[in-house]
Amino acid sequence: MNARPIGPMPWTLWLAAPMALCMAASLIFATPARAFGLQAPEPVFALAPAFAWAMIRPSVWPPLALLMLGLFQDLLWGTPLGLWPLCLLAAYGFIFSFRAILVGQEFWALWAWYALACGLGLGVGLLTISLEAGHVPSPMGVAWQWLVSAILFPFAWRLIERYEDQDVRFR
């Protein structure tokens, strides 16, 4: 097992690196390639760090990072500016408000909460788009996006396990 230093973490380790990975993965999955007539799903990769950052420690930086990630998603997918930041911040705020209950929970329990947070974030997006466009987007498309986004929980778990309690200033 590798020894991890305990002390203040540089922001690049727990914010910039996950942001860059989410952006790269989103770009890869946004390519219009088709296999057997099917297009690759478009999971919301940014929901994984949104969950993890709410669990790791309180800070002012994760909401700002989620704002930037959300704006990137808006520009990438052509959605109205502000839609994805609203969705990501709703999921982050939900998990952050239950953080005291969730810290120390088992893998499967946290996965259930992550799926719930994904549903909340996508539900906020569905409601917002429905109100703006005047019609409801395909519920099956939203369900499919929720499913592939919820499957990404192991990435959030890895981020939580890697950085939780590493900064002594927040113990």
The helix/strand/coil state of 46 is coil
Comparing CA positions, the residue from 14, 60, 46, 33 lying closest to residue 162 is 14
The per-residue pLDDT for 4 is 53
Q: Look at residue 170 and tell me if it is in a domain.
A: no
Q: Which residues pair with 39 in a beta bridge?
A: 34
The per-residue pLDDT for 115 is 98
The per-residue pLDDT for 6 is 46
Rounded Cα distance between 76 and 85, Å, is 13
Give the H or E element holding residue 111. Answer: helix 107-133
The per-residue pLDDT for 171 is 47
The per-residue pLDDT for 47 is 96
The per-residue pLDDT for 90 is 97
Q: Look at residue 4 and tell me if it is in a domain.
A: no
Q: Look at residue 38 and tell me if it is in a domain.
A: no
Q: Look at residue 135 and tell me if it is in a domain.
A: yes
Q: Look at residue 171 and tell me if it is in a domain.
A: no
The per-residue pLDDT for 170 is 43
Q: Look at residue 10 and tell me if it is in a domain.
A: no
Q: Look at residue 153 and tell me if it is in a domain.
A: yes
Q: Which regions of the chain are under pLDDT 70?
A: 1-12, 37-40, 164-171
Rounded Cα distance between 91 and 136, Å, is 21
- Mind listing the pLDDT tens digit for each residue in 117-142? 999 999 999 999 999 988 898 888 89
Per the structure, the count of domains in the chain is 1
Whether the CB-CB separation of 44 and 149 falls below 8 Å is answered with: yes
Q: Look at residue 14 and tell me if it is in a domain.
A: no
Enclosing domain of residue 129? 45-165
Q: Is the pTM of this model over 0.75?
A: yes
The per-residue pLDDT for 56 is 85
